Amino acid sequence: MIAQLALSVLLAAILLYAWTEYRRSPAVALLSVLAATAGLYFVWFPAHSTWLAELVGIGRGVDLILYTWVCISLLVLLNLHLKLRTQMELVTILARKAALAEALSAAARPRESGDPDREF
């Protein structure tokens, strides 16, 4: 019972995480919800997991739960990767703004001093 409660809290946390991520990455959020819901179900109805595991050829129900957990971990990793990509896009915008501001102000200086050779 204690293990069931602990796992339920962890899986509920995954559900909450998926909900907060839905706006940014719907595909990952939906897959996480699916995996976490399946995990919750099997935690409380382990006999069903054995039945389903046998049906899909995994063998033991506990292995099915383990595989579900691996799926969740991979999805969280994928989400982390996507978050890093988003951060990189923001860094790019910032770096571009800095580079453009520097170049445009450098280009404006000769113009202000009457230099006709300024490029665009």
Stretch that binds another protein, among 8-16, 35-43, 46-54, 95-103 (CB under 8 A): 95-103
Under rule CB under 8 A, residue 103 binds another protein:
yes
Give me the least distance between CB of 25 and another protein, in Å please: 4
In total, the chain counts a number of residues equal to 120
Among 5, 12, 24, 54, binds another protein (CB under 8 A): 24
Residue 6 vs 107, nearer CB to another protein = 107
CB-based contacts of 79, cutoff 8 Å, min separation 6? 21, 25, 28, 32
- In degrees rounded to 5, what are phi and psi of residue 58? -85, -35
Burial class (CB in 10 A: 0-12, 13-18, 19+), 32: buried
Stretch that binds another protein, among 2-10, 19-27, 41-49, 57-65 (CB under 8 A): 19-27
Under rule CB under 8 A, residue 108 binds another protein:
no
Under rule CB under 8 A, residue 111 binds another protein:
no
Best CA proximity match to 36, nearest among 79, 63, 70: 70
